[in-house]
Amino acid sequence: MASPFYTVEHEAYREVVRRFVQKEIEPYAHEWDEAGGFPRLLYEKAAEIGLLGLGFPEQYGGTEVDNFMWIVAVQELARAGAGGVSASLKSNSIGAPPIARAGTAEFKARVLPQILSGKKISALAITEPSGGSDVANLRTSARRDGDVYVVNGEKTFITSGMRADYITTAVRTGGPGPGGVSLLVIEGDTPGLSRTPLKKMGWWASDTATLHFDNCRVPVGNLLGEEGGGFKIIMHNFNSERLTMAAGCTAAARVCLEEAMEYAKQRHTFGRPLAQHQVIRHKLVDMAQRVAASQAMLEMLAWRLDQGESPVAEICMLKNQATQAMAFCASEAVQIFGGAGYMRGIKVERIYREVKVNAIGGGSEEIMKDLASRQMGL
């Protein structure tokens, strides 16, 4: 059904991204999943249609857009049912915004054009082996030594961690608590940086790593914002990250619905199509209901963000709503496909494996509920 939030420009860009996905991702999604990665050249191809520059200043090669353009891009990418590819392509959307927001003029001019053109890859490194969303208590240290910071510690579960060229890293430059946290961009060829690849339940095509910092010397000019000001920059990043995740999860849920509907029309059991069995029709309606509810919530919150609001509690609830809808629809789709749904190489099987990473990444369901309750004054 048509939505009042999308303009002619939104729909035109939807067609551009859809053609890109059909040509450059969908035919290779299974192959890349099995290989555990995709060609680095895909970043440059994505940059050519403006995917990597969405939301960034034009002077660096970006395009200033509203949240609905983001939704269009993310949801079209999700049509391939290849969450690992989408996650890696979008790692710049969480690694580079702090650079655009808080980097020095010289640093932004040097780094952002390379990232937005797809020639270099950006990643965000917050999570540590000792804790994930508890950013205020991170342990990776950065000690000032003249014109450099000496960084020691570890980060883990870092998307694009193996091949990122610019790693926006949360470090402790001061005392305990959020006031001691800063953001440093650590370049991929920094001596003392080593990386360990991680194998995952899903997102196989996305490289994920643990990063080790052993006396890495990082120029002071790579500091984003003021020393001790990193926590606020990180928090500012979360609204857009969670909205984007919710958009992708809602779209993945819709893919499961569409795939299951098509299969139910074609597959015959007991002398008639699956879709003519009441129990299957009810499953499909339950899926459609959750997709519609998630999309409606997503679009209303995107509109509120574009009006300058910061509905933190509702965005936390949206992330849970969307990830739960994805989990339900992926499970029901595999059930409708039966044995075929358990076979590798089809969209619903890939999406089913990707459910949990979305429910955990960007803040787990439990943390989202706690944040929302605090915002509600509970």
- Active site residues per annotation: 241
Contact between 286 and 359 (Cβ < 8 Å): no
Cβ–Cβ contacts within 10 Å for residue 300, how many?
A: 14
Contacts of 179 (CB under 8 A, 6+ apart): 228, 231
301-321 burial code (b ≥16 CB/10 A, e <16): bbeebeeeeeebbbbbbbbbb
d(CA 102, CA 84) in angstroms, rounded, equals: 28
Contact between 167 and 189 (Cβ < 8 Å): no
Contacts of 55 (CB under 8 A, 6+ apart): 62, 63, 64, 65, 70, 93, 97, 240
Cβ–Cβ contacts within 10 Å for residue 96, how many?
A: 30
Q: Which of 299, 325, 326, 324 is nearest to 311 (CA)?
A: 299
Q: Which two tokens stand for residue 26?
A: 């969908």
Helix%, strand%, coil% for the chain, nearest 5: 55, 15, 25
